[in-house]
Amino acid sequence: MSELPTTGREWHLVARPHGWPKPEDFALREAPVPEVGEGQILVRNSCFSVDPYMRGRMNDVKSYVPPFELDRPMEGGAVGEVLASRAPEISVGDHVLHGLGWREYAVLDAKRAAKIDTSRAPASAYLGALGMPGLTAYAGLLEVASFKEGDAVFVSGAAGAVGSQVGQIAKLKGASRVIGSAGSDEKVRVLVEEYGFDAAFNYKNGPVAEQLKKAAPDGIDVYFDNVGGDHLEAAISSLNVHGRVAVCGMISQYNATEPTPAPRNIALVIGKRLRIQGLLVSDHSHLQPKFIEEGSAWVQSGALKYRETKVSGIEKGVDAFLGMLRGENTGKMIVSLTD
């Protein structure tokens, strides 16, 4: 057995960002690797995830999840290989998904890790298409938005890890029309030509409301919101009577330093009898077995396509996070520690 690591690098939050995070708000530090206790495992991370929700955890405010602590390692989804185990249910050599990302090595209770099947898909897919973003898309569309066959669906931020899956799952489940918005002409091309969206538009090319009405002349029944702001306002205008909105994220507001205006047409919710519901994936863990079963079959058959934007090296972790906030990724933004 090879010697186990005694130290490893990890990213710490050292200052709470005001507005857009800056590189100096973070520090990459060498730290001891704890000894593996009873019921614990040691994992060498191969990839970790950077996600929009992490920006909220950098603020010291009460929320659905505790904020990151200053001068402590940040957390997030990660996959890796087990180097040592003192838990009977997980063996050395197993690949696992867990929540201690942003570091090279993680020691954690085995019950906080889930074994993954790398014969079904690459390990990194369990951070995206078959991981938290995929389950978010699946649960948000089918359970929160009460999608039904024949619905017309609009997805904002549609080239991201969640949005791209929402649109494809809607098509697989019989949507009459799927429309997506994205931040570049190249991403629009990917949505239509690769992911099978019926229409897509670059929100930077003109008012969102006008572009959505052109793409969905008969209106929409479901809006999956990753952006908020002008996208939510546009969707409210285009939603048909009894339309449903699943609010997954509002990335347009995450780095705002001043209050952002609410949709100016919110009164339409009354006459149209709209339902707007927030979405936290943690509320829908009961769907995970069904999602993994359906999702892995779709991935293996090629029916569900996904992209990853990989940045290599732990030292590039913050660059990847900031790039994701700027929309530089197509699909899931992942930091690879082994490439």
When the pLDDT of each residue in the chain is averaged and rounded to a whole number, the result is 94
Q: What percent of the chain has a predicted confidence (pLDDT) above 70?
A: 98
Mean predicted confidence (pLDDT) in 29-52: 97
pLDDT at site 77: 95
pLDDT at site 330: 86
Taking only Cα atoms into account, the Rg of the chain, rounded to an integer number of angstroms, comes to 20
CATH assignment of 7-128+307-336?
3.90.180.10
For the whole model, what pTM was predicted? Answer: 0.86
To the nearest 10°, report the CA torsion of 98, 123, 278, 177. -170
Whole-angstrom distance, CA of residue 243 vs CA of residue 221: 5
CA proximity to 130, closest of 97, 103, 158, 179 = 97
Q: Which residues pair with 336 in a beta bridge?
A: 47, 312
Which has more confidence, 251 or 28? 28
| Neighbouring residues of 275: CB distance < 8 A, sequence distance ≥ 6 | 146, 242, 243, 244, 245
Is 69 within 8 Å of 63 (Cβ atoms)?
A: no
Whole-angstrom distance, CA of residue 29 vs CA of residue 9: 5
- For domain 132-282, which architecture applies? 3-Layer(aba) Sandwich (3.40)
Token readout for 94 is 């197993």
Mean predicted confidence (pLDDT) in 164-188: 97
Segments of the chain assigned to CATH 3.90.180.10: 7-128+307-336
Mean predicted confidence (pLDDT) in 209-217: 98
Segments of the chain assigned to CATH 3.40.50.720: 132-282
Whole-angstrom distance, CA of residue 178 vs CA of residue 180: 7
**pLDDT tier at 119, thresholds 50, 70, 90:** confident
Is it the case that residue 251 has pLDDT exceeding 90? no
